[in-house]
Structure 1
Amino acid sequence: MLAAVEAGVPMVVVPDSLDKPQAARRVARAGAGVVRKKPERLRNAVDQVLAQPRHRVRELGRAITAAGGTARAVDLVEELLRRR
C-alpha cells in the first residue's frame, strides 16, 4: 500500500482478515483510495477511483518521497524492532 501511495496510484481495497480492515480504513481516511467489503462491487469501485481527482494521493506520494520513501519507513520499523 505504501508503494502505491508513494507512486501516486489510488487503490481499491477489499479487506478480509488480520490487519487488512485497519489498513483499509487508513487508505480511505487518507484519501488514497476506496474500500469495498464485497468483491462483487469491485468494478464500481475501480470506476469510482478512476473518476476521482488524484490530487490527494499524489500529494501523499510526494510527502512520502520527501520523507525518504518506503526504504526509510522500513529502516525506521527495523530500528524500532531492534530496540525491543
Structure 2
Amino acid sequence: MKHAGILMLLLSVVVFAGAAPDRCCLKEESGVGKAAIPMYYFDAASGECKTFMFGGLKIMVNDNRFASAEECMENCGGKKCS
C-alpha cells in the first residue's frame, strides 16, 4: 500500500510537469509568412481579445490564435494568467 501512494505521487508529478501551458496565457505571435491574415489573440494583461496579422505559416507560432473575437472570448474570456 505504501508503494501505491508513492507511485500515485510520481505519476501526478509527471502528468503535471508535462502539461502544456494554457494557450490563452501565451503571448501573441504573428509567425512567418507574408499572408497578413487578420486573427485574434487573448491579451492576458488587459483580459481582452485583440487583433493581429497572422503570417499564414504555422511555423514558430503558439496556439493563442483564433479566427474570430467570439471564438477567442469563448476560449479565454475571464481567464486569469499568472
| TM-score, normalised via structure 1 length | 0.23
Greater Rg over alpha carbons, structure: 2
Greater fraction of residues in strand: 2
Q: Report the TM-score when normalising by structure 2.
A: 0.23
Structure having the higher helix fraction is 1
